[in-house]
């Protein structure tokens, strides 16, 4: 009798242990890693000033809820240069860049963003998409509030231009299909590698109303 009771108790303990293990794995995150960083939130960054003290790029990224290892991201440049250092002087508008982070580990992601430079105005009709800017690379969380992004920025033509002042004859690099992304066989007009650090936007102290 005691033997049967011990067997039943042992079986119950095993079942409870399995349930707890599964629950803890879900709470800890993918792969049950308690050190897995949740990227949701607002991240800010500013590059160091240039050699003459000039301001460089400043930006904000909003990372949405992760589902199946994929987080939607919107990147907004705070001090945009639509002309891209004079390469496209006719461009008047630079859009936000958007894309996914795809988790590759507890603290790492791959990403691809795309944004556009246009001749858009407030007049009736549509402006032209002049350039497409693709960012692609990797993100590493060095702690819960700091990330380092490395990658490459690539510029593509969004229209035909037979006499571009810097690149000569250009063709629209988004035609097959015309989906807002450079075609797979196209090479960028210009590219540059980068590494930047971003910081999670903190909750600042509430002002003391007595002051």
Domain ranges of the chain: 1-34, 37-200
- Backbone dihedral region for residue 84 (phi beyond 0: left; psi -120 to 50: alpha; all else: beta): left
Q: Which two tokens stand for residue 193?
A: 């590698």
User: Which pLDDT does position 168 carry in this prediction?
Assistant: 96
Confidence of residue 8 (pLDDT cuts 50, 70, 90): very low
pTM, rounded to two decimals: 0.80
Give the mean pLDDT of the chain.
86
For residues 3 and 23, which has the higher predicted lDDT (pLDDT)? 3
**Given a cut of 50, is residue 87 above it in pLDDT?**
yes
Specify the pLDDT at position 23: 32
Asked if the model's pLDDT at residue 193 lies above 80, the reply is yes
Write down the pLDDT at residue 128: 93
What's the token pair of residue 175?
A: 């035609």
Half-sphere CA count of 25, side-chain side, radius 13 A: 8
Considering only 10-14, 24-28, 84-88, which range has the smallest mean pLDDT?
Answer: 24-28
State yes or no: cis peptide before 22, omega within 30 of 0: no
**pLDDT tens across 112-171, in order?**
999 999 998 767 788 999 999 999 999 999 999 999 999 999 999 999 999 999 999 999
What's the gap between Cα 68 and its chain centre? 16
Question: What digits encode the pLDDT tens for the residues 31-58?
Answer: 556 789 999 999 999 999 999 999 999 9
């Amino acid at each position: 009798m005691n033997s049967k009771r011990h067997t039943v108790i042992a079986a119950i303990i095993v079942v409870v242990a399995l349930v707890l293990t599964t629950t803890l794995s879900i709470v800890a995150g993918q792969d049950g890693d308690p050190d897995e960083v949740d990227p949701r939130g607002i991240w800010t960054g500013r590059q160091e000033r240039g050699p003459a003290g000039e301001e460089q790029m400043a930006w904000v990224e909003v990372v949405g809820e992760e589902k199946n290892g994929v987080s939607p991201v919107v990147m907004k440049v705070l001090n945009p240069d639509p002309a891209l250092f004079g390469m496209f002087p006719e461009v008047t508008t630079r859009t936000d860049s958007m894309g996914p982070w795809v988790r590759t580990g507890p603290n790492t992601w791959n990403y691809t963003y795309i944004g556009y430079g246009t001749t858009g105005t407030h007049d009736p009709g549509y402006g032209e998409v002049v350039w497409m800017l693709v960012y692609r690379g990797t993100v590493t969380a060095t702690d819960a509030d700091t990330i380092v992004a490395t990658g490459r920025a690539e510029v593509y033509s969004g229209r035909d231009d037979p006499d571009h002042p810097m690149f000569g004859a250009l063709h629209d690099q988004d035609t097959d299909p015309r989906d807002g992304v450079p075609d797979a066989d196209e090479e960028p007009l210009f590219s540059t590698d980068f590494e930047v650090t971003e910081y999670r936007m903190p909750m600042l102290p509430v002002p003391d109303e007595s002051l």
